[in-house]
Amino acid sequence: MTPAAVAEAAEAGADAGDVAVANYREALRMALREELTRDERVFVMGEEVGVFDGAYKVTAGLLDEFGADRIRDTPISEEGFVGAGVGAAMLGERPVVEVMTLNFLIVAMDQVVNHAAKIGAMFGGEVRCPLVIRTPNGAGNQLTAQHSQSMDGWFAGTPGLKVVAPANPADAKGLLKAAIRDDDPVLVIENLRAYTLKGEVPTDPEHVVEIGRAAIPRSGSDLTIVSHGYATTRALAVADRLAESHEVEIEVVDLRSLRPLDVETVAASVVRTHRVLCVEEGWPSYGVTAELAARIQRACFDDLDAPVERVGMAEVPLPYAKNLETAALPNEDRVAAAALATLGLGPAA
Amino acid sequence: MQVLQEERAAVGIDLYRQMVLIREFETEAESQYKAAHIGGYCHLSSGQEATNVGTVHALEADDLLVTGYRCHGFALARGVPARAAMAELFGREGGCANGRGGSMHLLDVERGFYGGWGIVAGQLPIATGLALGLVRQDRPQAVLCELGEGAVNMGAWHESLNLAAVWRLPVVFLVVNNGYGMGTAVDRASAEPDVFRRAESYRMPGERVDGDDLDAVIEASERLLSAARQDRQPAVLEAVTYRFRGHSVADAGLAYRTREEIAEREARDPISRVREQLIAAGASEEELDAVVAEVEAEVADAVAYAEADAEPPVAELAAGMHAAGSDAQFERMRPGSPFGERELIFDAGLGR
């Protein structure tokens, strides 16, 4: 570890052993620092990643460590610099492009969907695009309609892309590292509220989480909740709450990867529990949970004791007023109510 | 012709050969398209050959080239074999993109040609990134990024020129101004129809050249590319030319321009112009006729090759989409896993 990394690990409460307690943004920074150190081809670019220390402080301190060529500030120019990442990647560089939020990535949609995603197949495998785009989705801070979206399904539904969405600090580190080492374009969807989540993070620079593998952070036999990103935090809280209040054991499947989607782990869980609730931060119509529902009914038709249930953000452009925002989010009360309905313990959702 | 006068007669003849090859190739492509052997869109370069050949001639072997979708001429000038280009148009395995790209997406990475791209101006940010890659890799080369004049009203044009200037990247943006973005004349689309002047906004050189004057194109391209290589000086080069055919093969090209205008431009055919210069410089009619005959045979051979070449196997529908090693990542999403859905994800070709 570099001296700064040691200091940071100490500040984050590192054990002498191989696990540090760190928050999600520190875990991402750890991954960036390790990969920047490991591979000269890796560089970071985006708005305010350098001098400003990162809009959400993920890249804080990296400019001093690695210099302005490798921690490259960009103008406010998403289509330009995401596309520059595509071009640099085609030449064998390993750009990690930070986009301030997923809402702004939509400005660069042409480069992501029409370009990056197409390169491998459209050019017959003659050239690759090992590009990483990192960006947070999410709502809950009264950021209102234009800054609170989670269009995860748009990207996950695009062949040629890989999409991961870590829910906790260890996976934030491991999946970002996997994305950087991958030879294809990978979108890493982070989450604004997740940045402060704390957890144990392996300090091993080879801690890489395989893309395409879901995790089961909580086992249970009565109901499966399938989620990703910040929705997993909600799911785990609801599982605790209902274990207490209703003595039900909920299994939580954290997808971690949206494309490839680990249908196998989801279905194996549903086969055990016979009931499933899918939760996402974004709008459910045509969303990740829609995809999950389609696949689950196909894979588990004979095993289901209840219809596949879904909870997501209310289908409105998110309002500003705190009470309205709260009502619109897939908050714990809504998830809990849907879980109980799916269990036959509450009114239908 | 200056190129010739400087004891470069062989080079001059070769440039003529390339121009004729492009014209013959495009003429044949149009016939094959009308015979339904080529599908999709097919944008021809006929009339623009001096720009194709002159700009690419100014590239060094390790320089990079990126174009929009009217890419046949640039690909051939860069040395993509006519067989590989025609087979790509036919959708065959031996095409330069293995039959996956078609007319708009020719490429040849070994020759530094990073693709024809199909979204207007979408290739500009990518060219900027390639130039950034060159700088990061400490390679003293440059990128030539072609676009049509219709692309200069897209946001990606502004963003790319701005980035190239702010980061001082070795890229020359070649605006092929053939007068019409599809059917819209330049002055109906651009508030500043003198496209090269827009470079001033980014404090970079902008020049306009007669795109049908091979020598002028070469001279300007060499100078700007050289500055890009040596000083990382980005630039805009506007080559004013004319496309003899419609926007694509499907467009007769008459709704927005007159037959007289086309005839007048065809009478100033850049290929005839070069031929006259070569004759004046001492080349013989027989010699040049032999070049034409040779090129005709090359194009006929390309068509025969494409016709005989295999179609890509359906079992390799997804070939190339993902990098080697992706198979394992997708195995729980794919057929073969206990819960896969055969019709959603094809199992073939992933990770190859």
B62-109 pLDDT tens trace:
999 999 999 999 999 999 999 999 999 999 999 999 999 999 999 999
Residue B341 pLDDT more than 50?
A: no
| CATH code for the domain defined by A215-342 | 3.40.50.920
Question: In this predicted structure, which of A293-302, B43-52, B217-226 has the lowest mean pLDDT?
Answer: A293-302
Judge whether B260 is closer than 8 Å to chain A, CB to CB.
Answer: no
The full set of domain ranges for chain A reads 3-202, 215-342
B120 neighbors B146 (Cβ within 8 angstroms): no
The pLDDT tens digits of the residues spanning B174-207 come to: 999 999 999 999 999 999 999 999 999 999 999 9
Alpha-carbon dihedral B42, B45, B47, B53, rounded to 10 degrees? -170
pLDDT at A282: 97
- Here the tokens at position A180 are 């950087």
- Here the tokens at position A276 are 């499933």
At position B119, the amino acid (one-letter code) is I
Out of B155, B320, B332, the one facing A262 most closely (by C-beta) is B332
Nearest Cα residue to A164 out of A224, A236, A213: A213
Judge whether B320 is closer than 8 Å to chain A, CB to CB.
Answer: yes
d(CA B224, CA A182): 37
Residue A276: Cβ within 10 Å count:
29
A135 neighbors A190 (Cβ within 8 angstroms): yes
A230 neighbors A195 (Cβ within 8 angstroms): no
Contact B129 A90 (CB under 8 A): yes
The pLDDT tens digits of the residues spanning A159-215 come to: 999 999 999 999 999 999 999 999 999 999 999 999 999 999 999 999 999 999 999
Provide, as residue numbers in chain A, all residues whose Cβ is less than 8 Å from the Cβ of B201.
none
Q: A78 an active-site residue?
A: yes
Contact A84 B129 (CB under 8 A): yes
Provide, as residue numbers in chain B, all residues whose Cβ is less than 8 Å from the Cβ of A88.
129-130, 132-133, 136
Contact A162 B324 (CB under 8 A): no
Provide, as residue numbers in chain A, all residues whose Cβ is less than 8 Å from the Cβ of B122.
83, 110-111, 114-115
Contact A93 B136 (CB under 8 A): yes
- For residue B316, give every residue at least 6 positions away whose Cβ sits within 8 Å of its Cβ, in sequence order, or none: B348, B349, B352
Average pLDDT of span B39-62: 97
**Min distance B127 CA to chain A CA atoms (Å):** 6
Structural domain A3-202, CATH architecture: 3-Layer(aba) Sandwich (3.40)
Residue of B nearest to A214 (CA): B332
Strand B113-116 with B64-67, pairing: parallel
Domains A3-202 and A215-342 share a fold: yes
Contact B97 A122 (CB under 8 A): yes
Judge whether B298 is closer than 8 Å to chain A, CB to CB.
Answer: no
The pLDDT tens digits of the residues spanning B24-36 come to: 999 999 999 999 9
A134 neighbors A97 (Cβ within 8 angstroms): yes
- For residue A162, give every residue at least 6 positions away whose Cβ sits within 8 Å of its Cβ, in sequence order, or none: A179, A182, A184, A185, A186, A187, A211, A257, A259, A260, B322, B326, B329
The pLDDT tens digits of the residues spanning B107-137 come to: 999 999 999 999 999 999 999 999 999 999 9
B69 neighbors B146 (Cβ within 8 angstroms): no
Judge whether B100 is closer than 8 Å to chain A, CB to CB.
Answer: yes
When pLDDT is cut at 50, 70 and 90, the band that residue A347 belongs to is: confident
B155 neighbors B125 (Cβ within 8 angstroms): no
Strands (E), B162-321: 171-177, 180-181, 184-185, 206-210, 235-240
What number of C-beta contacts closer than 8 Å exist between A and B?
198
B146 neighbors B157 (Cβ within 8 angstroms): no
The Cα angle at residue B93 between residues B92 and B98, in degrees rounded to 5: 100
Residue B7 pLDDT more than 90?
A: no
d(CA B106, CA B121): 17
- Here the tokens at position B209 are 């050249």
- Domains in chain B (CATH in brackets) are 2-312 (3.40.50.970), 316-352 (no CATH)
d(CA A194, CA B274): 65
Out of B136, B325, B352, the one facing A88 most closely (by C-beta) is B136
Q: A26 an active-site residue?
A: no
The pLDDT tens digits of the residues spanning A13-50 come to: 544 459 999 999 999 999 999 999 999 999 999 999 99
- Give the helix, strand, coil percentages of chain A, each rounded to 5: 45, 20, 40
